[in-house]
Chains A and B, each alone.
Chain A
Amino acid sequence: MGAYPAVPKLPNKERTKIPRHKIPEQEANVRNKNFQEVNLGYTIELAQAEAQRCLMCANPPCMKGCPVSVKIPFFIEKIIEGDIASAAKILKEDNALPAVCGRVCPQEEQCEVVCVIAKKFKPVAIGHLERFAADWERNNIGIQVPEIKIKTGKKVAIIGGGPAGLSAAGDLIQMGHDITVFEALHEIGGVLVYGIPEFRLPKEIVKAEVDGLAKAGVKFEKNFVVGLTSTLDEILKDYDAAFLGVGAGLPYFMNIPGEELSGVYSANEYLTRVNLMKAYDFGNNDTPIVDIKDKVVAVIGGGNTAMDAVRTSLRLGAKRGMIIYRRSESEMPARKEEIHHASEEGVEFMLLTSPTEYHGDERGWLRSMVIQKMELGEPDASGRRKPVPIPGALEEIPVDVAVVAIGNGSNPIISRTTPEIKVNKWGNILVDKVTMKTSKKGVFAGGDIVTGGATVILAMGAGRTAAKYINEYLTNPDFVWDWE
């Protein structure tokens, strides 16, 4: 029995006639002044109407497009039936953090891009429906915890409480293992709490999903830096296996003159101050950020993090928020929705430009930056056309704050303290691509520390794959740990 009356399952032809339902959102000119969530979420009516568009394919390509293989048509069917609790339950069989993923996954590149009706029409809004079901559960019946069958007595240490670690923890606890997550910061969530802003992912939702894991039995050790507080080897004395999901560590700078000036931030620092440390509410919280009100902010980069930083700047009162990106819009790695939202909110895009130096005043404060205009040349190793500087096309523009959002290198703490873990020349941990096992017996790894900076859902996918093989390693005596 559902909480709502079922809506009819329509003939396929009828289904494709329904246009995709937009998710209600805050007005661009209102939301760019507050930190509340941009998307407001479907109502039950919108959700059921959108769910009716799904063709319920017998061999659904969307499931293959999903890095964690959520049983998409099955949960959508429950929404049609009005049984949202069951929809949420199906989601959580494959995804430990559905309310998070419904908000931050790049569905347009994963499940929705392969949706059968997307060939002729717009795809089913899978992400919006996922979010709807997860939010409904949390708001109406509280996060439900799956029953754990049998305890195996095996202990697994999860190093890093971000998306990779949390999804591994979510799966492994259900498999009956004893799980402890070790987190360096004072809050669980990793990039979900320090990086992704409140207006895109409210911290309350992360907290609720983490509480759900705790309710299922996952233990959390905060303020614990594995490698320093205890080494991995010391941890392994008390655990049967470990998963390293420590994330991308050190922010890259461009190594151009003036990056040391006050007012130049890495995106990690800028966003951590605002999100994790709540600098936007200075007075009630003690961590400051430089004054952004009526200032000019330039964000360097074209990824999701750059969009987060520039949209954060507008909300902090910036007079101008600019994206400085060296390629053109079509090469931007950010999700389409983020670029669209940013542009609606008044972000200026200075495409085909790249900073060459920053200038400061006598007290060491940023005052201006010199930007080099570029044009697109031949495709590079990434397949995207390479930006080439136009000789002499330099311009100096006044800026008060610059945020460098060009990615992260890998943190050296684990590899420095556990030399047995093999890494590549960039410091990324080397893993077996099928099982996620590392060069050290009993240790698996996944997420940004393996791939370099990527997305939340890819990290979660890696966490799930690792969980599957950690379970295999713990329960199958024939599991072979070979490594070349």
Chain B
Amino acid sequence: MNKIIESRFLSPNVKLFKIEAPKIAEKRKAGQFIMLRVTDTGERIPLTIADSNSQEGWITIIAQGIGKTTKMLNLLEAGDYIHDVVGPLGKPSHIENFGTAISIGGGVGTAIAYPIAKALKDKGNYVISIAGGRSKEYVILEDELKACSDEVYPTTDDGSYGYHGFVTDKLKELIDSGRKIDFVLAIGPVPMMEAVANLTKPYGIKTVVSLNSIMIDGTGMCGGCRAIVDGKTVFVCVDGPEFDAHQVNFKVLKNRNNTYVSKEKEALHDFECHLDQAFNKLIKQEQN
């Protein structure tokens, strides 16, 4: 069991957790993820490691409450425990000095883009960060991004904050301004990553996306996370999670990620109708 040292909401349903995990903190590189289980009957879900500190022995993860597991996770607070945490899994991001690098995060995707932006900056890139959200309160980590980027552009779909429009609109504006862009990283909902890939492809800009497949073990054993990249089957957990955006078959990714939609709804409904039971289970876990 791993103890939560600190937790806070970054936006109405996105929560950051600082978790005790000294071994993982020691080894973790940007782009890698953990698998966690909130309780002993929970599912295993992958979450990217947003930050870490090897001296103090912690990592941070950021979760958006969408389904039962993430909503249950978001009930936890400092002092609580997560039943299982394993990692760091997946290949680290390939970081080099590309020149000018744009890091794009859509919604909670910003949490995954942030550590990579930081690593890109450390390698000497000129880093431009775009952080998108539906409206102002969904734009996250703006201060953290400012600390590791040369330029930061928050964008909102409704225009309530920053640039009014999608992240791709801002990206297009930057490309059209004639600036030399050497590398684009895009992390967020599948349609967003697909739109970025479609936008940069005609310009031949190297573009990388981090895939959010459904996983069970996260170590290559089950093959549930398979995706199609460059016409070939890959296992996102051991071959990724990052891939060349121009080679990813996004349609297959979308379809496979939708496999359990009806089951997820069922579980969520049941969870929300029996919140008291969920609380009791978490309290019991604390006591053990």
Which residues on A are within 8 Å of B, measured CB to CB? Answer: 184-186, 194, 222-225, 228-230, 247, 249-251, 253, 255, 259-263, 265-266, 268-269, 272-273, 277-278, 282-288, 290, 363-365, 411-413
Contact = CB atoms under 8 A, between A and B. Distances in A.
A77 B228 CA distance: 59
Contacts of A184: 86, 217, 219
B88 A229 contact: yes
A268 B221 contact: yes
A2 B44 CA distance: 47
A266 B222 contact: yes
A291 to B, nearest CB: 8
Interface residues on B, range: 35 or more
Contact of A269 (B88, B224, B251): B224
Contacts of A228: 27, 87-89, 219
A364 B41 contact: no
Contact of B89 (A225, A230, A262): A225
Given A229-B23, A229-B88, A287-B43, A268 B226 contact: no
- Secondary structure dominating the interface of A: loop
Contacts of B222: 251, 266, 268-269, 272
B262 to A, nearest CB: 8
Contacts, number: 129
21 contacts: A184-B217, A184-B219, A194-B217, A194-B221, A228-B87, A229-B88, A230-B27, A247-B221, A249-B219, A260-B233, A260-B252, A260-B256, A266-B223, A269-B223, A272-B222, A283-B267, A285-B41, A286-B69, A287-B43, A288-B43, A365-B255
A185 B37 CA distance: 11
The interface residues of chain B, by DSSP majority, are classed as: mixed
Contacts of B270: 283
A413 B220 CA distance: 9
A182 to B, nearest CB: 11
A242 B232 CA distance: 36
B210 to A, nearest CB: 17
A277 B43 contact: yes
A273 to B, nearest CB: 7
B233 A262 contact: no
A306 to B, nearest CB: 16
B244 to A, nearest CB: 18
B233 A255 contact: yes
Contact of A272 (B69, B217, B252): B217
B279 interface: no
A261 to B, nearest CB: 8
Contacts of A273: 216
B54 interface: no
B255 A186 contact: no
B223 A290 contact: no
B273 to A, nearest CB: 12
A95 to B, nearest CB: 26
A225 B32 CA distance: 14
Contacts of B254: 364
Nearest to A284: B41
A268 B223 contact: yes
B84 interface: yes
B288 interface: no
